[in-house]
Amino acid sequence: MSIAGGVREFARATPHAVAVIDGDRTLTFAALDERASRLAQWLLGIGLGIGDRVAVLLGNRLEYPEVAAGIAKAGLVMVPLNPRLTPIEARFVVEHSDARALVLDDALADVVGDLVVEAGLPTLGIGGTRLGPAYETVLASSSATDPRVVVGEQDPFCIAYTSGTTGRPKGVVISHRSRALTFYMSALEWGLGTGRVSAAIAPMYHGAGFAFGFAPVFTGGTVTMLRAWDPEEVLALVERDRVQSAFLVPTHAQMIRALGEGAVGRRDIASLDTLYFNASALPWALKEWVMEQFPACGVHELYGSTEGGIVTNLRPVDQRRKPGSVGHPWYLTEIRVVDEAGEPVAPGEPGELFSRSPYLMNGYHDDPDATAACTTEDGFMTCGDLVTLDEEGYVSIVDRKKDLIISGGVNVYPREIEEVLARHPAVADSAVVGAPDATWGETVVAYVVLRPGADLDPAALEAHCRASLAGFKVPRSWRASGPLPRNAAGKVLKGELRRRHTSHRAESIDA
């Protein structure tokens, strides 16, 4: 298996079918395959060999699938860079991965310019030549012959760096087999394939964004690129390109809802039949809104990670029957939920989730200790999430183990509080964290993003929470917040919120 396999196969089977749409630009499978081969030949021609790393600094655009396929055809390993990184952060990823070449959008040259000059890093620029020769010029002068460098299916296609929510980012080594099987199972689950149009809305430099943006191409369908996040443009994209399926994170749904009453109905989105969500908790109140606004769509909620791939899926038939659940194990996946001693927990009791599947990472790049800390001898892996398992085997996420609050010796799970706050009419979004407290060890702090026109009313929010939560779970400190800090996956950076609390940088009203 290789992630270039689908491109090669459909270049033969459906050469004139459109593989990629990017605004008014399109690319057929035949052209995609040829351009990927030309890039592969250039990479090999500058002296790179099997397993060498190539950094990629691009947003969602037409070239992303061909760059990924070209790197794979050459037997090389892609290292995606987040365009929002600072030069210091980008330098760490490039140096830690030992990247030997770079392909980038010339508009992003300032992110890595100093490093490229200092290291003499061979660089191709898409749309400009500030750091190296023009991408199109190089492709035009390179051989169109597919080099067909052979690599093992367990060999890495990618080192995807985590977002660094708990310190320095770690490089997640992902195999061809892991992602190729993810693509095939995605086609089985969501009907991807020839003649079907999907949207790449989440950023493709992130693990899930790449998996769900490249899967349509790998399986013979069409992907249309959203260049930059804009809720209005998402709806316009669905209408214009007759999108049938799309992957979103909960923040996307929140921002579409924030467009106001009737915004969805003003667009012709009748083509859309499938939505799948991942990355962070989809609050039940928000999920109900999604199902109401997109009644013709099958809504799936997934749980997974860059390290573990897709672990569970809650399918449309179970959405109302299992509110709050993220489903049962996905294809080819085993799970177990254990206590701190490694013993299975009873149904309904919180425990740490471990999974075993062909989607798991090979390990963390150059970090055997971190790899050993999250894996077991029999091949299970954890990302540190606490869950419950019901009698039918459905998983519900309790919280991140590292986000657990212990107040007065009692466990408090932030997600439970956030679910309650999501039902308050003044609350658009929220995040709950623990802060040091001399008496209780930790105290509960809630950051609240208010709806337009609403004011922070701690007494009303406290009363709302007390109707559903035990007293020790009710936040003791309420802070009005602008948009919550999030990483590329849409996950809230709770470490940043804890730092805010300590330094009193946010507006606050203490209850």
Q: What is the pLDDT of residues 318-329, one digit of tens each?
A: 999 999 899 999
- pLDDT at 505 (0 to 100): 40
Q: What is the pLDDT of residues 392-451, one digit of tens each?
A: 999 998 877 778 787 876 778 888 899 899 999 999 999 999 888 877 778 899 999 999
pLDDT at 511 over 70: no
Pick the range with the lowest mean pLDDT from 122-126, 220-224, 435-439: 435-439
Average pLDDT over residues 14-30: 98
| CA 508 vs CA 135, 420, 423, 461, 482: distances in Å | 50, 20, 21, 14, 12
- Environment class of 367 (CB within 10 Å of its CB; exposed 0-12, middle 13-18, buried 19+): middle
Catalogue the E-assigned strands of 226-375: 245-248, 274-277, 298-305, 309-314, 328-329, 334-338, 351-356, 363-364
Average pLDDT over residues 205-225: 96
Token pair of 359, please? 């989607």
Q: Is 355 helix (H, G, I), strand (E, B) or coil?
A: strand
Average pLDDT over residues 70-83: 97
Domains, the chain, ranges and CATH?
25-175 (3.40.50.980), 404-510 (3.30.300.30)
Reading phi first (left if > 0) and then psi (alpha if -120 to 50, else beta), residue 502 is in: alpha
Global confidence as pTM = 0.84
